[in-house]
Amino acid sequence: MKLPKIKILDEIDPRLHKVSEPVTFPLDEKTKKLIDDVLVYLEMSQDEEIADKYDIRAGMGMSFVQLGILKRIFVVSEDNGDGTFERHIVINPEMISHSEELIYVGEGEGCLSVNRPVEGIVPRYARCTFKAYDVDGNEYKIRVREDISIAYQHELDHLNGILFVDKIDPKNPYKNKDRMREI
């Protein structure tokens, strides 16, 4: 399989701090193909051999704004550990509920648009329910937890012009760590 040509914006690009626009349906074929290409790219990036061969970093999610397209679309591809992936296509997402419990990624969150090491933690909800649409414009609700909950919140932030580094307190990067659970 050939790695799709995906150009990911770097954090210095001002488009990453803009709010993305809602998507109207039906989606055009170009948008549907790009959704599939991004999912393939993410899945290939999670294969260590392929990532080394193409010199790409592993990623499990990507928002269209990271491609310079200010549309409210993100995808997440979750490695099932058996060579298969669970694909999440999330269009016009809205978080409709969340847990009180906060979690954070122990080794720190990463982002394909942030090409540098970042110290600190980002508080995220342990569980969230989202309302969104699929590629055909059908509304659905999904409850996500743990690492997928973090991925959804991270990508939703992108659609709202927020990078994970914006959420880390520069004076105290591990602020309130004792009030959250590490995953």
User: Is residue 34 domain-resident?
Assistant: yes
* Res. 79: pLDDT tops 90: yes
User: Is residue 8 domain-resident?
Assistant: no
Residue 48 annotated to the active site: no
Residue 43 has a pLDDT of 96
pTM summary value: 0.95
Check which CATH number belongs to the domain holding 172 and give it. Answer: 3.90.45.10
Q: What are phi and psi of 164, to 5 degrees?
A: -60, -30
* Res. 69: pLDDT tops 90: yes
How confident is residue 1, by pLDDT bands cut at 50, 70 and 90? confident
Q: What is the pLDDT of residues 119-135, one digit of tens each?
A: 999 999 999 999 999 99
User: Is residue 7 domain-resident?
Assistant: no
C-alpha distance across the termini of the chain, in Å: 33
Catalytic residue, chosen from 43, 78, 109, 155, is: 155
- The CB density around residue 99, as the number of other CB atoms within 10 Å, is 13
User: Is residue 3 domain-resident?
Assistant: no
How confident is residue 83, by pLDDT bands cut at 50, 70 and 90? confident
* Domain residue limits at 47: 23-182
Rounded to an integer, the average pLDDT of 105-120 is 94
User: Is residue 139 domain-resident?
Assistant: yes
User: Is residue 16 domain-resident?
Assistant: no
User: Is residue 12 domain-resident?
Assistant: no
β-pairing verdict for 102-104 and 181-182: parallel
Rounded to an integer, the average pLDDT of 32-40 is 97
- The DSSP code sequence of 18-73 is SPPBPP-SSPPHHHHHHHHHHHHHHHHHTSHHHHHHHT----SEEEGGGGT--BSE
Name which of 170, 74, 83, 84 is nearest 113 in CA terms: 74
**Count of structural domains, the chain:** 1
What residue type is assigned to position 107 of the chain?
E
- Give the lowest-confidence range in 17-26, 132-141, 166-175: 166-175
Pair 156, 95: CB distance under 8 Å: yes
Residue 139 has a pLDDT of 98
Give me the count of residues in the chain. Answer: 183
Rounded to an integer, the average pLDDT of 43-70 is 95
Q: Which helix (H) or strand (E) holds 146?
A: helix 146-159
Pair 85, 114: CB distance under 8 Å: no
Rounded to an integer, the average pLDDT of 158-175 is 95
User: Is residue 152 domain-resident?
Assistant: yes
How confident is residue 19, by pLDDT bands cut at 50, 70 and 90? very high
- Structure tokens of 42? 């993410």
